[in-house]
């Protein structure tokens, strides 16, 4: 029997010197999950058991329940859409939700401030207009409200209804 160095072993050498080995290598079956189950059931069982022990379903469920509970605790009126979207998106953390709520509240504060500013400017214009209209002196004339008040008081003094 001849001895070969590793650098001398080639496919051509195997085919020439060892045709039975070459024939067996050419007919190697395709390795699929079904092939492994049929021919190496013990290896498949070991792989499946390892996969099961690496997944702690209770821990995963507990972590998700805690995440949802923490997000729901942040809920407030007007932020329902943010909370619902965060619960649906499993990659959303509680800290991410806090940032989104902070941004949402800042937007609301700004829009409220803008609305109040507009209302205040409108009110100021109205007060100035009233001030211009009431600039003439009517101190001798009584308003209709004052006259009605005096009539009511006089009737009450007399005991009338």
Q: Which domain holds residue 90?
A: 67-127
Question: Has residue 145 been placed in a domain?
Answer: no
> What confidence score (pLDDT) does residue 136 get?
53
Of 102, 122, 98, 99, nearest to 110 (Cα)? 102
Q: Tell whether 33 is covered by a domain.
A: no
Residue 140 has pLDDT above 60, yes or no: no
Number of domains in the chain: 1
Task: Tell which phi-psi region holds residue 159, choosing left (phi > 0), alpha (psi between -120 and 50) or beta.
Answer: left
Residue 87 within a domain: yes
- Interaxial angle between packed helices 57-73 and 80-88, expressed in degrees from 0 to 180 and rounded to the nearest 10: 170
Residue 106 included in any domain? yes
pLDDT at residue number 74? 94
Query: Is there a domain that residue 7 lies in?
Result: no
pLDDT tens per residue across span 109-131: 888 888 887 777 777 777 777 76
Report pLDDT digits (tens) over 17-37: 888 888 877 777 788 888 889
Task: Confirm if 100 and 86 have CB atoms less than 8 A apart.
Answer: yes
């Amino acid at each position: 029997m001849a001895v070969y160095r590793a650098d001398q072993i080639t496919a051509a050498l195997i085919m020439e010197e060892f045709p039975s080995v070459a024939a067996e290598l050419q007919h190697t079956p395709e390795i699929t999950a079904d092939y492994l189950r049929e021919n190496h059931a013990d290896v498949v069982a070991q792989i499946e058991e390892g996969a099961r022990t690496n997944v702690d379903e209770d821990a995963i469920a507990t972590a998700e329940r805690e995440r949802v509970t923490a997000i729901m605790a942040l809920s407030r009126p007007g932020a329902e859409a943010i909370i619902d979207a965060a619960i649906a998106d499993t990659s959303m953390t509680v800290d991410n939700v806090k940032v989104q709520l902070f941004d949402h509240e800042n937007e609301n504060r700004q829009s409220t401030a803008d609305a109040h500013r507009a209302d205040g400017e409108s009110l100021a214009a109205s007060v100035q207009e009233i001030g211009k209209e009431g600039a003439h002196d009517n101190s001798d004339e009584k308003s209709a409200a004052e006259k009605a008040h005096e009539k009511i008081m006089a009737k009450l003094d007399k005991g009338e209804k």
